[in-house]
Every structure is written in structure tokens, then in C-alpha cells.
Amino acid sequence: MLSHQVVGTTPDREVDVPKREKSKRLQVVISEEQDSLLTKTAYHLSNPERLVSKSEVVRLGIAMLNRAVEEGHLDPELLETLEER
């Protein structure tokens, strides 16, 4: 998600600094059960060298859901959970 932007030069080299991609902030209300699932998933994806945040779990879930929809592999039972809420 990081790209690089040249921010200046010196006589013998360019200064290359990472530039963040534009992002959007989304606020949603989730149940305690959903928060617990996010926490548990982040814990299972983490290891001593790399902790995974709940935000990263959400971004991963969005990517996985999008891929399933585009490839036609979305489980119809998953859509039923939307109707239960």
C-alpha cells in the first residue's frame, strides 16, 4: 500500500520517501459477538514477529469477500447471515 515519492534532491542523490495511498475511513456498528470474532481472528493470524490488528482483519475480509463474489464462489448461507441481523 505504500508507493514512493521523490521529495527532493541533493547534488549526488534523490531523496525517496514512502507515500501512503489515499484511504477512506469507515465507521460501522458491530455487535459484541462480531468484535469478539475480529479479536479472535486477529489473534490467530498473529505471531510473535507480527501482530495483526482488527483493522487488518477487516481489510483482509473485504478482499476475500470481493474475490469470492467476482469468482462466483460466494456461499449462499453467508448471505443468510445478513438477513439475520
pLDDT of the residue at 2: 44
Q: Is residue 30 part of a domain?
A: yes
Check residue 4 and give its pLDDT. 46
Predicted pLDDT at 5 = 47
The domain tally of the chain equals 1
Residue 62 domain flag:
yes
pLDDT, tens digit, 9 for 90 and up, residues 32-78: 999 999 999 999 999 999 999 999 999 999 999 999 999 998 888 88
Q: Name the residue range of residue 59's domain.
A: 26-84
Q: Given this model, what pLDDT does residue 13 score? A: 59
pTM: 0.66
Residue 2 vs residues 5, 18, 52, 56, 62: alpha-carbon distances, Å = 10, 6, 18, 15, 19
Residue 61 in any domain: the answer is: yes
76 belongs to a structural domain: yes
> Which is more confidently placed, 20 or 7?
20
| Residue 13 counted as domain residue | no
